[in-house]
Structure 1
C-alpha cells in the first residue's frame, strides 16, 4: 500500500525583498520623493545618479515596470555596481521578467554581493525566482536555483523544504530524503517533514520487500523513527520476521501494529499470530505466546480456533479463570470440541484451587463478605471441593458475629455521637448491605444529624445564590455523605448541575458563533470555559477539538510565513508572523525560535550601526544612508537608528552647503564640468534643493553656449583638414556633454576620415570619380565614392542628391530582375 501526501508547492507564493536602498517611509512620503526626483530630472535629464535613485524609489513602491525603465537608463553608468545590478534584478523579478533578472543577479554575485548578504540578500531573490519557476512547473530549473541558494549565505530550512518537495515530484526519493532530513535537523517537530520522510522510507520498504528483505526491514524501521505510531511498518516488520520464523519478533511487531491497521490486513495478522502462538506453545514458551491472545480476540474468521489457542496459552501460564472463559467460548459454538472439554476440566480444577485459596486468605484477614463470594464461586465450579463448604459456613457465622458487634456499638453511639455511629453503621453495611437493622439505625442516626444537615443545606443554598457553585456542591455532597438519600441535597445538586449546563451551553453557543465568523481564538477560549464548567459536554468537547485543530493550522501557517519571510530577509514581516503565531498559541518551541530570531536581529542591528558609523567617518554618505535605511527597516525606534539618522542629516546638511559653495566657485572659474558635478552631487543628497537646480540650469546654459562655439570650431578644423586641432576641440566638447549627438557625429566623422586617409582636397576628385562610375552603370561604387565626399563635406548637396539617384537606379534594376 503506497502512501501519498499532498504537494505543498501549489501553496508557494513569492516573497519580495526590499531594494538595496529603499526606506520604510509611508506610501505618501515615497510618492512625494518620487515627484521631487522627477522635478530634479526635468532640470537635469542627463543626471544618471538622480535617475538611478528615482528607479530605486519606484522599486520601493512596487512600481516595477517604471523602476525597470529608469534603472535601465541609468545602468551604463553603474554597470560595475553590485547595488545597481541587484536592484535591477529585483525590479525585473517584480515585473515578471525572471529570466532577465537572473542575468543581472549573476552579475551582482560576480561583483561580490554574496559577501555583503545583509545589504544584498541575493539568495532571497534566487529563492523567489525559483518559486515563480515552480508555479510554471519548471521543476528542474527551480531545483538548480535552489541548490545554488544553499551555497549562499542565509537561512536554509525553507530551501531544503522546497527541494524536498520538488524531488518528490521528480520521483527522486534519495535526494528528497536528504533535504527533508535537513529540515528535521533544523525543526525536529516539523510535521510535514516527518510525513514526507515516513512516506519515502515506507514506500521504499515496500519496493524492497520481496527483492531484498533485509534492506526492506531497515527502511520500515527508519520510517518508524519519524512516526513510531504508524501501524503498517510494524505489520511488514512482523511479516518479515514471520518469513524468517522469528515468532517472538512477529508477535511483538503485530502487537504494535494492531491499533490503526487497515481492515484488509487484519485477517493475515490473525493468521500470523495464530501460527506463531501455536509454534511457541509447542516449544513450551507460553509467556512469549501471550501477545497472541489480544490479537486473536479480534479475529472473526477463526474464532473457535482462536479461543481454543488463547485458552491453551492461559492454561500453560496457570491463568485458569481466563483459560476457563476461553474454553467455554469454544464450547458455546462447538459443544463437542474434545480438546476444549478436556482442558476445561484442568482449568476448572486450577480455578477451584485458586478460588479456594483466595477465599481462605480473605477469611483469615477478616474480609468475610469477599471470602464468601470466592468460596461460593469455588463451590459453583466444584460443589465437592474439600473444606470449601466448612470455610463458607465459618465465614458466614463470623460475618454475622461482626455485624452484631457493630450494631451494638452503633446503638450505643446513635444518640450522643451520630456521626461516629454512621461510620460504624456504614462498616456494617459494607459487610451486610441488606441488613434491615443497620438501615433502621442509619435512619435514626441521620435524624440525629438533622440539625447539622439543615445548617449545611442552608450554607449550600447561600453559596449557590452567590454563584459559588463549587463550594455549594461540596456542602451538598457532605450532606449526602451523612444522608445518601437526602432529597434536598440531591435537588440542590441537580439545580447546580442544571445551572452549570446552562452556562456551559451559553459558552458553547458563543464559541459556535465565534467559530462561524472566523474568530478561532475566541472560540477556543469559549469552548475551554464551557469544558471548565462541564468537562463532559459533548458539544464543547467536539467544538474545542475542531477549533483547536483550526488554531493549530493557523499557528502552523503563521509559522510557515515567518520562516519564508526570514528566508527572504524580510525581517520585520517575519517578526510580525512570529508574534501572530505566539498570540494564537504560546508554544515553547516557537518562543525559542522567535528568541533566536530576535538575537540575530540584535546582532544585525549592532553590525549595521557599526558599518554606518564607519561610512560616516570616511565621508561615504551614500553607503551611510543605505546602511541607515537598512537599520531603520529593521528597528525604526531603536536608539542606534535615531542617533545615526540625526548624524546623517547633520552631515548631509554640511556636505550640501560645502558642495554649493564649491559649485559657485567652479562656475565663476568657468569649470563647467566640475560645477555641474558639484550641483549634481547636491541633488543626490537633496533632490529638492532649489539652489542646486538653479545652478544646473545656469551651468547647462553656459555649457550650451560654449559647446556650440567649440563644435563650430571643430567642424571648421575638419573641413580644413586640421584633424589634430579638431580632435582637441572635440575632446573639450566631450567634457561638457559626452552624449551630445553633434559631438558624437563629428567624432565619428573624424575617425572615419583618419581611417580613410582622405583630406578635404580629395572631395572634388571623389565627386568626379562618382560621376564616372555612375556613367558606366557602376551604381554601388558611385554611391560609395559620394558617401566619402559627404564624410569630407556633409553639406555637399550634389553628392547627397546623386546618391539618391543611384539608389533609384539600383531599385529599378532589381524590379526588372524580379
Structure 2
C-alpha cells in the first residue's frame, strides 16, 4: 500500500477555484467540495479457491461430500454470494475440522462483506491449525485494523515479525498503525528496524519519507525519498513521494519533473496524474489539468478528488452526462457531501432530469442546514427560485 495517503494535501484548485456559467438559463456557481482521501490498509492477496482442499484423514464418502460443498461454495464465491458461500464452508468444517484453509476462507469472506468482528474467530482458528502460515496472520491483522482494535493488530504484526524477522509488510503495517495513533517515535523505530533488516527495500525508505513528511521535516523526507528512488528507480511510487515533498517545500518545478518521471514508469499512476493536474491548474493550464485529472480518475475510479475535479470540468464545459457520472461516483464515497449533491443537481437539470435535479439540490440544502451553512442554503434557494421551484412546496 502507499502510506502517503496520510499526507496527501489537496490544493484548493481541485474544485473550489472553478466557478462560472453552467447553462444559458442558469448561472449558479459550482459548489466547492472537500473530498478528503481516506487511508486504508489493504487485505493481502489470498486465493480462495478451496477445491483442492483435501485431507488424507477423511473417508471416501466424507471426501466426496467435502468436494461437493467446496465446489458449490466456489460457485457462490464466483457469484459474489458470500453469505451462501460462508454457510457452505462452515458445513465443510464440520466434515474436516482440521482444515485451516477452510477457516481462513471463511474469515476472508466475512471481510469481503465488511463483517470484521465475525472474521476474527475463523482467522484465529486457522492460525491455531497452521501457526506458521503468514497469510492467515496478515488476514487477522488486517481485520483488527478495520475494527480499530489497534493493540490486537500490533500484536498480530509483531507475531509475524517474530516468525519472519525480515517480513517487510509486517513492519510497514506496524508503522502504519503507529502513524494512525500519532505515535511517531514508534513508527520511526519500526521503519528504521526495517531498513536494517532489509536495506535494499525501497518501501522502507518510502515509509520513512512519509513519516517525515507528516512531521513536516521536509529535508529528512526528501532525503528518504531520494534514497528510495536510488534503491528502486523502476517504480513510480518513490517519485510520487519525492514530488509531494518538493511540493511541500514550494518547488513545483522539481515536483513536476518527479511526477513526469513517475508517469513515464507507470502512465496509470493515479496519484501522480492527479498531482500533475494540481500543478497544471496552479500554472493556469486547464487543458493539461483536465487531461491529467481524467487519466487519474480512469486509472482509479475510487480516487474521489480526481472524480470531483473531472466532474467540475464537465459541468463547466457542458458535458453533463459525464458530470453526472463523476458526481455519482463521488457520492458513493461521500453520500453526505452537500457540494456533490448540489453539482449533481446542476448537471441533472441541464440534462432535463428536473425532478431528480430538485431532489439532489434539496438533499444539498438539508445537508447545508445541518451544518449551519446559511450562505449555501441561500445559494440553493436562489437556484431553486431561478428554476421556478417553490422551496416550501417541494422541500420543506
In the superposition, the TM-score normalised over structure 1's length comes to 0.19
Larger fraction in helix: 1
Larger RCO (alpha carbons 8 Å, 6+ apart): 2
Compare CA radii of gyration and give the structure with the larger one: 1
In the superposition, the TM-score normalised over structure 2's length comes to 0.33
